[in-house]
């Protein structure tokens, strides 16, 4: 089969939208009207949770590193994880693609396949979208979910709570470091898995609802690094968070990658500061039986009055401020 290398400029807007829509599987029951009209119509039996997140070529992905399918998975994962982080169940995704006219239409349809794949893994579906012409590729997802009961906010953590993590932090940052260094993963399955974690993260969505049901006081999706995102809970809740370095000890793959890259931190900087893992970090009342796959990684303390109120200093590692990198930020030089 000869790949379709027609440019989206030549395919035209309406035909492109039709080609993309055919890549989406059958619509779940809660989607009353799917893509193709002015808007989608959904039956959402509960409160509606909504969030939006954007990926920009060159900043958030590179076409020489990521397949279009990877970018689709990452777009869906980033957005749907925000729904899970409220204690809600993801249901739907809207996707806007702005791209140069010379983008192969095959890239757009493979993007759609990745979006669809990750949406289905989360129990959601792509319900609508938009295409526009632009100089660089910018993809914005907007996710919708359903919530029964109270949302789990960033602001509810209380001193005494246990801090727990569903998923792992570090693999995405390590994968990015490997890609940046140009390390060929070859037959090395551990390295390849770290690169996959960066290119196509697969968040533990059901852990979001499970955390809410178990009574989580606060939760966040770790998109910008564990320290930075824990800092957001700490700042919103006016508490300190003390992370346990033993519980966060880098696994074999991270230590192996650190060795390959001659990184002196043995993987710990990736665990604490690497972005885009989309694990769920939650604070539970003391004595809570943690729902799987949550595992304890720290505890919530009163704000340490010896420190100022800069959120970065409200997260400690074994009682001390961490002196390494403190997370990935947009708008950095």
Binding-residue total with a second copy (CB under 8 A): 69
| 50 near a second copy (CB under 8 A) | yes
| 129 near a second copy (CB under 8 A) | yes
Which residue from 279, 281, 311 is spatially nearest to 297, judged by alpha carbons? 281
- Show Cβ contacts of residue 40 under 8 Å, excluding neighbours closer than 6 positions: 31, 33, 34, 92, 94, 127, 128
Residue 6, token pair as written in the block: 């027609």
Position among 4, 25, 133, 249 found at the interface with a second copy (CB under 8 A): 133
Query: In the complex with a second copy, which residue's Cβ is closer, 154 or 198?
Result: 154
Residue list 4-33, contact with a second copy (CB under 8 A): 8-9, 11-13, 16, 32-33
Integer Cα distance of 235 and 145 in angstroms: 26
Residue 92, token pair as written in the block: 């739907």
Q: Is 57 left (phi over 0), alpha (psi -120 to 50) or beta?
A: beta
CB-CB contact of 53 with 115 (8 Å):
no
| 67 near a second copy (CB under 8 A) | no
| 55 near a second copy (CB under 8 A) | yes
Integer Cα distance of 186 and 243 in angstroms: 35
Query: In the complex with a second copy, which residue's Cβ is closer, 40 or 207?
Result: 40
Calculate the CA 36 to chain-centre distance.
Answer: 27
Position among 19, 60, 201, 277 found at the interface with a second copy (CB under 8 A): 60
Residue list 214-233, contact with a second copy (CB under 8 A): 219-221
Contacting residues toward a second copy, per CB under 8 A:
8-9, 11-13, 16, 32-33, 37-44, 47-56, 58-60, 82-83, 85-86, 88, 92, 94-96, 98, 101, 127-136, 138, 140, 142-145, 147, 151, 153-155, 219-221, 236, 329-331, 333
């Amino acid at each position: 089969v000869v790949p379709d290398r027609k440019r989206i400029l030549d395919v035209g807007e309406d035909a492109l939208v039709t080609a993309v829509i055919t890549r989406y599987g059958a619509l779940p029951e809660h989607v009353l009207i799917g893509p193709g009209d002015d808007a989608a119509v959904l039956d959402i039996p509960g409160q509606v949770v909504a969030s939006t997140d954007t990926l920009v070529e060159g900043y958030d992905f590179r076409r020489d590193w990521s397949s279009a399918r990877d970018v689709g998975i990452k777009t869906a994962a980033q957005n749907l994880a925000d729904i899970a982080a409220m204690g809600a169940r993801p249901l739907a995704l809207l996707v806007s693609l702005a791209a140069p006219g010379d983008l192969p239409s095959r890239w757009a349809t493979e993007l759609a396949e990745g979006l669809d794949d990750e949406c289905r893994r989360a129990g959601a579906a792509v319900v609508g979208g938009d295409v526009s012409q632009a100089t660089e590729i910018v993809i914005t997802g907007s996710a919708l979910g359903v919530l029964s009961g109270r949302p789990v906010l960033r602001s509810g953590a209380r001193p005494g709570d246990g801090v727990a993590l569903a998923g792992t932090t570090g693999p995405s940052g390590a994968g990015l470091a490997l890609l940046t260094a140009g390390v060929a993963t070859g037959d090395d399955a551990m390295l390849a898995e770290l690169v996959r974690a960066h290119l196509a993260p697969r968040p533990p969505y059901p852990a979001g609802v499970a955390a809410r049901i178990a009574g989580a006081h606060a939760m966040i999706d770790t998109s910008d690094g564990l320290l930075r995102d824990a800092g957001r809970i700490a700042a919103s809740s006016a508490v300190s968070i003390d992370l346990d370095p033993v519980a966060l000890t880098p696994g074999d793959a991270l230590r192996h990658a650190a060795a390959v890259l001659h990184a002196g931190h043995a993987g710990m900087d990736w665990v604490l500061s690497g972005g885009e893992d989309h694990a769920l970090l939650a604070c539970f009342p003391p004595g809570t039986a943690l729902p799987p796959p949550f595992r304890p990684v720290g505890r919530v303390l009163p704000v340490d009055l010896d420190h100022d109120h800069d959120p970065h200093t409200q997260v400690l590692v074994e009682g001390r401020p961490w002196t390494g990198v403190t997370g990935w930020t947009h708008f950095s030089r």
